[in-house]
Structure 1
């Protein structure tokens, strides 16, 4: 097995606890489903938010998914680059897998599709 990174991002409409938690859970569930991930194979998850999102820790949204009680999660802020996408949650999930780089499916939802349209188009 090899450790591979699986990326994902989603935007939310407002800096509200429910919006942040639901979006993070939705993104993670999509990443897991698209890649056939078993939580036992997850080494760790890094979640970042843009500085305009501070109403909740997005890791709480991931913890709502069964099997994530022991997975190491860490939240952080994105670098505040002028003109960058706002109200964005990003996930980097490190997993043990037999999949090649080309087989990994990165997930970009809502307004975050603009971050990597080249990868988003591979999902169809």
Structure 2
């Protein structure tokens, strides 16, 4: 039997426009895909950190988690560093969740244009 541990699950997606609707829709899609790919329920989530690139400011991406009904998961939003060659219009997520999966078994999720960010990992890709 494996030990349950808190593991980090990474994810990212890109949006087409800096609108609340677009950010919330893409973030909700990302969160659901991350949870499904790793068989994680909200009660197993210790916390989620969201970051936005400097070109996005229409809304807090954490609101997408609340709209999914993830009422008791602690959430935090932050700004990405404005690195000149960074991928624009990107929402990144670091989900901390209790799981019995090893680090190699965690499925990180990169959707849409963000699929280029971690081509070195076995990731879940859509879009």
Q: TM-score, normalised by structure 2?
A: 0.92
Q: In structure 2, what is the equivalent of residue 73 of structure 1?
A: 75
After TM superposition, the runs of 4+ consecutive aligned structure 1 residues lying more than 3 A away are 121-124
Counterpart selection for 1:105 from 104, 107, 115: 107
* TM superposition shift of 1:122: 4.5
Q: In structure 1, what is the equivalent of residue 97 of structure 2?
A: 95
The 10-residue stretch of structure 1 (83-92 or 110-119) with the greater mean CA deviation from structure 2: 110-119
Q: Mark the runs of 5 or more structure 1 residues left unpaired by the alignment.
A: none
The 1:123/1:27 distance shift into structure 2, 3 A limit, reads closer
Q: Mark the runs of 5 or more structure 2 residues left unpaired by the alignment.
A: none
Question: How many correspondences in the alignment?
Answer: 122
Counterpart selection for 1:23 from 17, 22, 26: 26
* TM superposition shift of 1:123: 3.9
Q: Residue 8 of structure 1 aligns to a residue in which SS?
A: strand
**Separation (CA, whole Å) in 1 of partners of 2:34 and 2:12:** 10
Residue 36 in structure 1 maps to residue 39 in structure 2: yes
Q: Residue 117 of structure 1 aligns to a residue in which SS?
A: coil
Give the aligned CA root-mean-square deviation in angstroms. 1.2
**Separation (CA, whole Å) in 2 of partners of 1:84 and 1:40:** 33
**Separation (CA, whole Å) in 2 of partners of 1:122 and 1:81:** 24
